[in-house]
Chains A and B, each alone.
Chain A
């Protein structure tokens, strides 16, 4: 220190403190004598200074003196050793997470031991103590030539301690640090290395570069390694009888001093021969990183040591003990070239969780497998940690950088190959490392033995079992591990762009139509714009995300949500009861595919791709997500009318969920997901017209939901059950029921307006089935009533309840129970009316009500009042939302039904007017959406109905033209043979009627 502006006594005090720091005991009076003018001040300040300095002096011993950065050189403690139980402390040799390690003498056996001591007064001691005891207990049961033996555990002076064999050696962490310096900065001067402080680490390093490890020691000598004990840094010498022989042999073959000299030579030479081949010249003082290559023998030695550790781990694993904290700092290389595993079983699951929460594991985090962060650990967790350790030894660089470790959410996802750090690492060894530290436990060696075997194969120059993972495969695996990030991120960007374009085109088309009609903005347009904007934003976010991976997961979630929105929008279109009735013929339950535009199909296809990829993320950690994505694939396939594909997909999703639920049978999420899959299987079966399969799937939904009592009672499960019943009843009323026992098809009513009473009663089997369905429907209504009571503001419950009432009404119609049918229908209407007044802004409820009212005609053929109300609702909807085709379609349907009533009541003119309006609406819809089969179909029916009116009015030529018009449309449609079940019956009926006109009786 150069400053002379200090108080003279300060300078004296500094010297005084410095001597205390150095372990001396300077005399205060000496200072007073030599500086009498300051004697008073010296007497005042030196004693407290001495006290403060002594308070911090012990710390000094465990620290390194400045300048020798590689290895600490603790001075011997000036104080007399303390006694702890049977042990006499010699000195501190290291500090770990749990406490301080001392070299000590076990007095009863007169042997040197390492004593790990934990202070009772350390903060958080309760937890640390528990961990400490457990560590000792589990470690004491292990006996393996590479595991540090634990002698015993004790407590004295309030201090917990355990005694273990004293290992003279150096931790791999120190070796790595030493080599990092050697190979990158060369900051440590040669002479510095020969100082005692760096001695031991250096020695160990030299072993790694020599063939010492691979060769058994040859001679015998009686020197022990006490010199190293006194001088070495952290870990002291092994002097157990069992190892005496080997230790002395080694010392003879490689005397200490010459060894260290050799080490220096080794390291000096390692820089040159390694470089001589192809690399840049080795300039002294250069700070270029990794400009020194490691020799092949180093890698072989590292592989051998790692194989030994793997062997030790395998042994412990077989005893049922996991290490849980394998890391370079816990692996000690001794003077014989033996590697020792220390600190067995440090952390247990429950504690890890607590520790993880408080983030107290940063020091060890680097070596922790991803699953360990979630509190899970098995033998593969140790394999991972050993893999990361091996990585560090090979690359001399941590596999995961500190900033990433500490950046909150830690992803192990992309550990680069160690060869990217050091190209000289043997490929096979790099492959072994990458396999061992796969983030997915399923990709790792399943046991430590497998890792050991592969390392031995490498050492024997035999082909290893781990496959070299190509870049592509790594990307693929990464995408499997990170389904929400990797390939999907780019796919999602592509899809979002595509969807944005499709929506944009739709938007453009809508605007064109609107301009033609001089209409202002409409809902659909705004909807498109919002969706477009939304997607554009999400696309941008995703693009940013690929640059910034840690945000990608979140953004991909956004994308998934966007996709689901798109899907739900499309799926909602097929929901119109009226339209379903229009399309319903014989045993055919129309698929929603008939309602799709070609843009919808394109959208669905792209979504299908996306969810299919998502579902392929079949790794265990993704069980439920991938199964749900798979179900989504099935939904889309179903929507697209690919029923067989959909069913196969659902079955696979079902299998995945079932295997996942074996592990956690009470998981609500799993149960609901499984029930939803069964629900979809039910719909698929119904669409195939398979009544029995439909009912089986329906029963499965019930069984699944009943599998857990707690889940069964949850609102979600109850709601799922009720909607499933609704669907089951509604589907069952459409399939495998003779047309005359079905709820009246309003179109048949129009054409042949039979009074319902005149029909025959249903056959006995049918009666039973109907009764069952009525009971089920009542159950659904009860559930939904209860739910609505609990959550009166939840509109979804009430809409579903209205649907249940509607079903009851339909069943009652089949039972000829007109009064009940009427009551149920009124209840449904009331509910919907209530919703409309409660949510006046929501057109959805108006639409539902209009749809319901439009169907009244099916059993109250003359109820013009309800039909007119429906018509009014539809007109309002169309007026307020002119861009939404569903509303126009429903208006046309309602007009046709009104026409049917007019016609039945003999008002042909009014019927004709209504039908003409319906035809005009439908033609305009077809102009906008030429590819929607349902609109074509509806138009054909309206035309057929119109022709009937003409026939009754004896305008035969007009009727003929109208039939031809309808036929030509249907024939064009049937050419691509997409909906034979739907088209053929109508076509043949039309042809028949047309023929009648040509050949009037």
Chain B
């Protein structure tokens, strides 16, 4: 795990020439995040690296803004820019489809709705892996149901920690809360997920 301050120091010292290297350092994590957040309907056609390529250009052009006036760490910032790029790409992709009526999910997407959609499609996607399809189908179904039953912040925290594989301090930065609060929220979310799962697993409680 990198030290955000190091990133910033490097950028302050070397400016744009350090950007390529830093971006490369986080490229795989960003790719993972993009793969997770990308709309399932275009996942097959839009390669995460294309998104990253576009995001990189955006990041490069905004680098002075980051150096001058952005508070967050470098990684959190490029994550945010990358997701914005992805949102823009989504818009372009679905701009012409609004009238098709198939677009309700996307049209109404709030970031958190997007998260639940991402999780859902991610879980569905898992099922396409033959080795997992049978073994965990039931489990996945429950998990999805459970996640759907959670509140948005809890779901987001879990997604950031596990699907995006971010650390607690990064989650705190993204959510704009203290690391302590982020940590507590994470454990609380996990506990709630456990409760919901237990309820779902136990048919007697399902209607309770």
Interface residues of A (CB under 8 A from B): 1-3, 5-7, 9-10, 13-14, 17, 21, 41, 44-49, 51-56, 58-60, 63-67, 69, 77, 79-82, 84, 89, 92, 97-100, 102, 117-119, 121-124, 128, 157, 159, 181, 184-185, 187, 287, 355, 357-364, 402-403, 406, 408
Taking a contact as CB atoms closer than 8 A, the residue among B46, B94, B182, B183 that contacts A363 in the complex is B46
| Residues in chain A near residue B180, CB distance under 8 A | 5-7
Determine whether the beta carbon of A9 is less than 8 Å from that of B187: yes
User: Bound complex: CA of A65 vs CA of B165, how far in Å?
Assistant: 12
Instruction: Report if B174 contacts A (CB, 8 A).
Output: no
| Residues in chain A near residue B40, CB distance under 8 A | 122-123
Q: Mark out the residues of chain B between 101 and 142 whose CB falls within 8 Å of any chain A CB in the assembled complex.
A: 121-136, 139-140
User: Bound complex: CA of A149 vs CA of B53, how far in Å?
Assistant: 33
Determine whether the beta carbon of A45 is less than 8 Å from that of B190: yes
| Residues in chain A near residue B3, CB distance under 8 A | 2
With contacts A1-B169, A402-B54 taken as known, whether A122 is within 8 angstroms of B44 at the C-beta atoms is yes
Determine whether the beta carbon of A185 is less than 8 Å from that of B41: no
Determine whether the beta carbon of A7 is less than 8 Å from that of B183: yes
Segment touching A, from B29-37, B64-72, B76-84 = B29-37
Determine whether the beta carbon of B41 is less than 8 Å from that of A124: yes
With contacts A55-B122, A121-B124 taken as known, whether A13 is within 8 angstroms of B143 at the C-beta atoms is no
Determine whether the beta carbon of B27 is less than 8 Å from that of A361: no
- Residue in B closest to A99 when the chains form the complex, CB atoms: B128
Determine whether the beta carbon of B126 is less than 8 Å from that of A55: yes
With contacts A66-B29, A82-B133, A406-B54 taken as known, whether A55 is within 8 angstroms of B187 at the C-beta atoms is no
Q: Would you list 19 pairs from A and B whose C-beta atoms are within 8 A, ordered by A residue? A: A3-B169, A5-B180, A17-B161, A46-B190, A48-B190, A48-B197, A49-B162, A52-B162, A55-B143, A64-B31, A67-B25, A77-B131, A92-B129, A117-B128, A121-B124, A122-B40, A157-B133, A360-B45, A363-B45
- Residue in B closest to A6 when the chains form the complex, CB atoms: B183
A891 to chain B, nearest CB (A): 58
A923 to chain B, nearest CB (A): 64
Determine whether the beta carbon of B135 is less than 8 Å from that of A79: yes
- Residue in B closest to A359 when the chains form the complex, CB atoms: B93
Taking a contact as CB atoms closer than 8 A, the residue among A13, A51, A187, A360 that contacts B20 in the complex is A187
B78 to chain A, nearest CB (A): 14
User: Bound complex: CA of A51 vs CA of B143, how far in Å?
Assistant: 8
Determine whether the beta carbon of B125 is less than 8 Å from that of A406: no
Instruction: Report if B158 contacts A (CB, 8 A).
Output: yes
| Residues in chain B near residue A64, CB distance under 8 A | 28, 31
User: Bound complex: CA of A66 vs CA of B182, how far in Å?
Assistant: 24
Determine whether the beta carbon of A7 is less than 8 Å from that of B162: no
| Residues in chain A near residue B123, CB distance under 8 A | 55
User: Bound complex: CA of A49 vs CA of B135, how far in Å?
Assistant: 18
| Residues in chain A near residue B31, CB distance under 8 A | 63-64
- Residue in A closest to B19 when the chains form the complex, CB atoms: A287
Determine whether the beta carbon of A79 is less than 8 Å from that of B132: yes
With contacts A17-B162, A45-B190 taken as known, whether A3 is within 8 angstroms of B140 at the C-beta atoms is no
Instruction: Report if B193 contacts A (CB, 8 A).
Output: yes
Instruction: Report if B9 contacts A (CB, 8 A).
Output: no
| Residues in chain A near residue B143, CB distance under 8 A | 51-52, 55
Instruction: Report if B96 contacts A (CB, 8 A).
Output: yes
Determine whether the beta carbon of B92 is less than 8 Å from that of A408: yes
Taking a contact as CB atoms closer than 8 A, the residue among A1, A59, A403 that contacts B122 in the complex is A59
| Residues in chain A near residue B140, CB distance under 8 A | 55
Determine whether the beta carbon of B130 is less than 8 Å from that of A13: no
A285 to chain B, nearest CB (A): 10
A737 to chain B, nearest CB (A): 60
B2 to chain A, nearest CB (A): 9
User: Bound complex: CA of A361 vs CA of B187, how far in Å?
Assistant: 41
Determine whether the beta carbon of A10 is less than 8 Å from that of B187: yes
Determine whether the beta carbon of A360 is less than 8 Å from that of B46: yes
| Residues in chain A near residue B131, CB distance under 8 A | 77, 79-82, 89
Instruction: Report if B153 contacts A (CB, 8 A).
Output: no
Q: Mark out the residues of chain B between 153 and 169 whose CB falls within 8 Å of any chain A CB in the assembled complex.
A: 158, 161-163, 165, 167-169
Determine whether the beta carbon of A69 is less than 8 Å from that of B24: yes
Determine whether the beta carbon of B45 is less than 8 Å from that of A59: no
User: Bound complex: CA of A92 vs CA of B132, how far in Å?
Assistant: 12
Instruction: Report if B89 contacts A (CB, 8 A).
Output: yes
User: Bound complex: CA of A65 vs CA of B47, how far in Å?
Assistant: 18
User: Bound complex: CA of A402 vs CA of B55, how far in Å?
Assistant: 10
| Residues in chain B near residue A363, CB distance under 8 A | 45-47, 50
Beyond the given A119-B128, A358-B93, could you list 8 further A-B residue pairs with CB under 8 A, ordered by the A residue number? A66-B29, A81-B131, A102-B130, A119-B127, A187-B20, A287-B18, A363-B50, A402-B50
User: Bound complex: CA of A361 vs CA of B89, how far in Å?
Assistant: 12
A720 to chain B, nearest CB (A): 35
Instruction: Report if B17 contacts A (CB, 8 A).
Output: yes
With contacts A45-B190, A358-B93 taken as known, whether A403 is within 8 angstroms of B165 at the C-beta atoms is no
B57 to chain A, nearest CB (A): 6
Determine whether the beta carbon of A185 is less than 8 Å from that of B125: no
| Residues in chain B near residue A69, CB distance under 8 A | 24-25, 27-28
With contacts A58-B126, A65-B28, A358-B97 taken as known, whether A5 is within 8 angstroms of B136 at the C-beta atoms is no
Determine whether the beta carbon of A360 is less than 8 Å from that of B42: yes
User: Bound complex: CA of A883 vs CA of B11, how far in Å?
Assistant: 70
- Residue in A closest to B32 when the chains form the complex, CB atoms: A63
Determine whether the beta carbon of B41 is less than 8 Å from that of A123: yes
Instruction: Report if B178 contacts A (CB, 8 A).
Output: yes
Determine whether the beta carbon of A5 is less than 8 Å from that of B128: no
Determine whether the beta carbon of B21 is less than 8 Å from that of A185: yes
| Residues in chain A near residue B129, CB distance under 8 A | 58, 92, 100
Instruction: Report if B208 contacts A (CB, 8 A).
Output: no
Determine whether the beta carbon of B128 is less than 8 Å from that of A406: no
| Residues in chain B near residue A55, CB distance under 8 A | 122-123, 126, 136, 140, 143, 162
User: Bound complex: CA of A227 vs CA of B105, how far in Å?
Assistant: 46
With contacts A52-B162, A121-B127, A402-B54 taken as known, whether A358 is within 8 angstroms of B25 at the C-beta atoms is no
User: Bound complex: CA of A376 vs CA of B178, how far in Å?
Assistant: 56
- Residue in A closest to B42 when the chains form the complex, CB atoms: A360
Among B50, B130, B178, B182, the one with the most A-chain Cβ atoms within 10 Å of its Cβ is B130
| Residues in chain A near residue B127, CB distance under 8 A | 119, 121
User: Bound complex: CA of A788 vs CA of B54, how far in Å?
Assistant: 56
A976 to chain B, nearest CB (A): 61
Determine whether the beta carbon of B194 is less than 8 Å from that of A44: yes
- Residue in B closest to A120 when the chains form the complex, CB atoms: B128
Determine whether the beta carbon of A52 is less than 8 Å from that of B128: no
B161 to chain A, nearest CB (A): 8
A102 to chain B, nearest CB (A): 7
- Residue in A closest to B29 when the chains form the complex, CB atoms: A66
B26 to chain A, nearest CB (A): 8
User: Bound complex: CA of A45 vs CA of B32, how far in Å?
Assistant: 24
Mask of B167-208 contacts with A, CB within 8 angstroms, 1/0: 111001000001110111011001101100100000000000
B192 to chain A, nearest CB (A): 8
| Residues in chain A near residue B182, CB distance under 8 A | 6
B120 to chain A, nearest CB (A): 11
B10 to chain A, nearest CB (A): 12
| Residues in chain A near residue B28, CB distance under 8 A | 63-67, 69
User: Bound complex: CA of A358 vs CA of B42, how far in Å?
Assistant: 9
Determine whether the beta carbon of B45 is less than 8 Å from that of A157: no
Determine whether the beta carbon of B45 is less than 8 Å from that of A362: yes
| Residues in chain A near residue B1, CB distance under 8 A | 1
| Residues in chain A near residue B46, CB distance under 8 A | 360, 362-363
Determine whether the beta carbon of B194 is less than 8 Å from that of A360: no
- Residue in B closest to A355 when the chains form the complex, CB atoms: B45
| Residues in chain A near residue B57, CB distance under 8 A | 402-403
Determine whether the beta carbon of B89 is less than 8 Å from that of A287: no
Determine whether the beta carbon of A45 is less than 8 Å from that of B122: no
User: Bound complex: CA of A54 vs CA of B3, how far in Å?
Assistant: 27
| Residues in chain B near residue A157, CB distance under 8 A | 130, 133-134
Taking a contact as CB atoms closer than 8 A, the residue among B20, B36, B179 that contacts A3 in the complex is B179
| Residues in chain B near residue A185, CB distance under 8 A | 20-21, 24
Among A1, A51, A63, the one with the most B-chain Cβ atoms within 10 Å of its Cβ is A51
User: Bound complex: CA of A98 vs CA of B43, how far in Å?
Assistant: 10
| Residues in chain B near residue A13, CB distance under 8 A | 186-187, 190
